[in-house]
Amino acid sequence: MTKSKRLTLILADQLSWQNPALANASPETDELLLAEVKAEATYVRHNKHKIVFLFSAMRHFAEAASERGFTVHYCQYDMGITSLLEAVKRSLARTEYSAVRVCEPGEWRLREEIAAWQTQLDVPVSMLEDTRFLASHADFAVWADSQKTLRMEYFYRGMRKRYALLMEDSGKPVGDRWNFDADNRSGWRNKDTVPPRLHDIPDTITSDVIELVNTYFSNHPGDLSHFPYAVTAKRASAHLAHFIEVFLPQFGQYQDALAEESTTLFHGLIGLYLNAGLLDPLDVCQQAEAAYKAGHASLAATEGFIRQILGWREYVRGIYWYHMPLYASNNTWQANRPLPAWFWTAQTDMRCLHKSLEQSLNDGYAHHIQRLMVIGNFALIAGLSVDEVCAWFLAVYVDAYEWVELPNTLGMALNADDGIMASKPYAASGKYIAKQGNHCQKCRFDPKLTTGERACPYNSLYWHFIDRNLERLSKNPRMGLITGQWKKRDSAERDSIVSWAEQVLASQL
Residues, the chain, total?
509
Residue 391 carries which DSSP code? Answer: H
Q: Is residue 383 part of a domain?
A: yes
Q: Are residues 147 and 116 in the same domain?
A: no
Percent of the chain with pLDDT over 90: 95
Query: Is the pLDDT reported for residue 186 higher than 90?
Result: no
On whether both 350 and 493 belong to a single domain, the answer is: yes
Whether residues 149 and 78 share a domain: the answer is: no
10 Å Cβ neighbour count for 471? 8
Q: Establish if 336 belongs to a structural domain.
A: no
482 in the same domain as 369: yes
CB distance 108 to 402 below 8 Å: yes
The continuous run of DSSP H or E covering 30 comes out as strand 30-35
328 in a structural domain: no
Query: Does some domain include residue 45?
Result: yes
pLDDT digits (tens, 9 = 90+) for 28-49: 999 999 999 999 999 999 999 9
Domain housing 430: 341-506
Cβ–Cβ under 8 Å, residues 429 and 462: yes
- Furthest-apart CA pair in the chain: how many Å? 83
The H or E element spanning position 311 is none
CATH number of the domain that residue 153 is part of: 1.25.40.80
The residue from 128, 162, 184 where one domain ends is 128
- In the three-class reduction of DSSP (H, G, I as helix; E, B as strand; rest coil), residue 213 is classed as helix
Q: At what angle do helices 108-115 and 84-94 cross, to 10 degrees?
A: 30
Give pLDDT, residue 1.
42
User: Among residues 333, 330, 332, which one has the least CA distance to residue 461?
Assistant: 333
Domain shared by 67 and 160, yes or no: no
**Structural domain count, the chain:** 3
- Please indicate, yes or no, whether residues 359 and 413 belong to a single structural domain of this protein: yes
Q: Which residues, in sequence order, are CB contacts of 305 under 8 Å at separation 6+?
A: 248, 251, 252, 268, 288
Q: Is the predicted pLDDT of residue 4 greater than 90, yes or no?
A: no
The CATH number that applies at residue 91 is 3.40.50.620
Q: Is residue 221 part of a domain?
A: yes
Question: pTM (2 decimals)?
Answer: 0.95
> Does pLDDT of 93 surpass 70?
yes
In the predicted model, is pLDDT for residue 440 greater than 70? yes
Mean pLDDT of 192-208: 95
On whether residue 307 sits in a domain, the answer given is yes
Q: Assess whether pLDDT exceeds 80 at residue 166.
A: yes
pLDDT bucket at 133, cuts 50 / 70 / 90: very high
The DSSP symbol for 269 reads -
Per the rule left: phi > 0, alpha: psi between -120 and 50, beta: everything else, 127 is: beta
Q: What is the pLDDT of residues 343-401, one digit of tens each?
A: 999 999 999 999 999 999 999 999 999 999 999 999 999 999 999 999 999 999 999 99
173 beta partners? 167
pLDDT for res 288:
98
pLDDT computed for residue 375 by the predictor: 98
Q: Which of 297, 323, 349 is the last residue of a domain?
A: 323
CA dist., res. 21 & res. 14, Å (int): 9
Strand order in the sheet with 6-9: 71-75, 30-35, 6-9, 99-103, 125-128
Q: State the pLDDT confidence band at 3, using cuts at 50, 70 and 90.
A: low
Same domain as 351, residue 317: no
- Residue 34 pairs in a beta bridge with 74
100 sits in which H/E element: strand 99-103
What local confidence, expressed as pLDDT, does residue 182 receive? 84
366 and 494 housed in the same domain: yes
Same domain, 149 and 124: no
Reported as a pLDDT band with limits 50, 70 and 90, residue 301 is very high
In the chain, what percentage of residues exceed pLDDT 70?
A: 99
CATH number at residue 358: 1.10.579.10
Predicted local confidence at residue 192, as pLDDT = 86
Last residue of a domain, one of 82, 107, 128: 128
Indicate the helix (H) or strand (E) that contains 389. helix 386-396
What average pLDDT score do residues 241-255 get? 95
The CA–CA distances, whole Å, from 380 to 115, 117, 211, 313, 427 equal 35, 39, 37, 22, 7
Let me know: does 74 contact 59? Beta carbons within 8 Å.
yes
Confidence of residue 479 (pLDDT cuts 50, 70, 90): very high
Both 148 and 259 in a single domain? yes
Question: Is the domain of 405 the same as that of 345?
Answer: yes
Q: Are residues 210 and 313 in the same domain?
A: yes
